[in-house]
């Protein structure tokens, strides 16, 4: 059975809708036309790493300096670890350059979902992208459903005549952030399996990052390939959203990377502050730094007022 979903671009907004899905698939998401949220507290999720890139636990809010647009801010709440629900989007590049990695991705991802979805409120969505963007599995807590849908990653879906693009990476980030994750409570994370190449997206890298920042989504990038420019793109995406970039190769397997990401999510610090008044839609820089300069903080670098 072939699976084929297409991108619907509605003006400046995007939504992912299904043209044909596997049996018993959830109905397509309704088009999103407005975003009306009032930001009173800015939350920042952060992972602190030592020189060997190992997560550091046991810090207090006094171990951080938090600034907005260069002005120090008072941390109103602070915790490590979280009981907040997790919403996870696994995003798999199935363009020609990535087809050889799919079997490994299916196997490792099948073991990853039960590691991440540990609470009844945790949910995940599976998205495939190449010349278009397809939601293979709607948001669910069902590990068996997600595992079953992974198998569809290996199915061929020839590019129809006249279609644009080859690898819609930026569109996939923007549309998944906007259409699938924005209404979810708690923590939000996106994992990209790709070589970082983009060919044919309507949205730019800046628009993709901006939408992920608006929805407070941490993006982890898992790099397959040998294109230094693609890896640079992934570093930019993950850096600005508070995630990290991992490279598959040698002794570093996808399964071991998934283990590191799970550890990151378990040991995340959650900080919050009350932002100064500003106009809706304005962008503000966030700078979260450790007092101990031997440590590295991975946290989003900005946000938009709503």
Judge whether 1 lies within some domain: no
On whether both 64 and 153 belong to a single domain, the answer is no
Backbone angles phi, psi at 104, to 5 degrees: -65, -40
Q: What pLDDT does residue 165 have?
A: 64
On whether both 73 and 167 belong to a single domain, the answer is no
Full domain range(s) for residue 54? 42-81+269-304
28-85: pLDDT as tens digits: 332 222 223 344 889 999 999 999 999 999 999 999 999 999 999 999 999 987 778 8
Q: What is the CATH number of the domain that holds 231?
A: 3.40.50.410
On whether both 57 and 95 belong to a single domain, the answer is no
Judge whether 136 lies within some domain: yes
Over residues 175-185, the mean pLDDT reads 92
Q: What pLDDT does residue 295 have?
A: 97
Place of tokens 């709503």: 306
On whether both 52 and 132 belong to a single domain, the answer is no
- Strand 133-140 and strand 77-80: the pairing is unpaired
Query: How far apart are alpha carbons 304 and 306 in whole angstroms?
Result: 6
**Following CA atoms 236, 284, 55, 122 in sequence, which dihedral angle do they give, to the nearest 10 degrees?**
-90
Give me the number of domains the chain comprises.
2
On whether both 182 and 241 belong to a single domain, the answer is yes
pTM, two decimals, is 0.85
Over residues 139-146, the mean pLDDT reads 96
Tokens at residue 4, please? 């084929």
On whether both 174 and 185 belong to a single domain, the answer is yes
Query: How far apart are alpha carbons 150 and 261 in whole angstroms?
Result: 19
235-279: pLDDT as tens digits: 999 999 999 999 999 889 999 999 999 999 999 999 999 999 999
Q: Which of 10-24, 121-135, 139-153 has the lowest mean pLDDT?
A: 10-24
On whether both 259 and 175 belong to a single domain, the answer is yes
On whether both 257 and 200 belong to a single domain, the answer is yes
On whether both 128 and 249 belong to a single domain, the answer is yes
Judge whether 92 lies within some domain: yes
On whether both 238 and 178 belong to a single domain, the answer is yes
* DSSP 8-state symbol, 303: E
């Amino acid at each position: 059975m072939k699976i084929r979903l297409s991108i619907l671009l509605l003006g400046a907004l995007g939504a992912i809708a299904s043209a044909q899905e596997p049996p018993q698939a959830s109905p397509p998401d309704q088009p999103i036309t407005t975003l009306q949220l009032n930001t009173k507290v800015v939350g920042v999720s952060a992972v602190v790493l030592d020189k060997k890139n190992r997560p550091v636990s046991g810090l207090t809010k006094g171990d951080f300096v938090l600034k907005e647009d260069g002005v120090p801010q008072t941390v109103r709440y602070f915790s490590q670890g979280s009981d907040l629900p997790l919403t996870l989007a696994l995003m798999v590049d199935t363009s020609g350059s990535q087809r050889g990695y799919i079997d490994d991705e299916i196997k490792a991802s099948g073991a990853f979902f039960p590691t991440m979805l540990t609470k009844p409120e945790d949910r995940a969505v599976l998205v495939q992208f190449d010349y278009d963007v397809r939601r293979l599995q709607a948001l669910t807590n069902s590990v068996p459903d997600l595992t079953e849908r992974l198998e569809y990653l290996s199915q061929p879906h020839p590019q129809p005549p006249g279609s644009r693009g080859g690898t819609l990476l930026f569109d996939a980030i923007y549309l998944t952030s906007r259409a699938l994750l924005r209404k979810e409570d708690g923590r939000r994370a996106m994992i990209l399996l790709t070589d970082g190449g983009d060919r044919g997206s309507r949205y730019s890298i800046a628009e993709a990052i901006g939408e992920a920042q608006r929805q407070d989504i941490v993006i982890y990038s898992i790099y397959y390939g040998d294109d230094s420019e693609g890896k640079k793109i992934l570093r930019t995406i993950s850096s600005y959203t508070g995630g990290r970039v991992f490279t598959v190769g040698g002794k570093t397997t996808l399964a071991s990377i998934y283990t590191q990401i799970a550890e990151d999510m378990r040991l995340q610090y959650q900080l919050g502050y009350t932002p100064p008044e500003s106009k809706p839609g304005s962008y503000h820089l966030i700078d979260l730094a450790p007092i101990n300069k031997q440590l590295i903080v991975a946290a989003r670098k900005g946000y938009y007022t709503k």
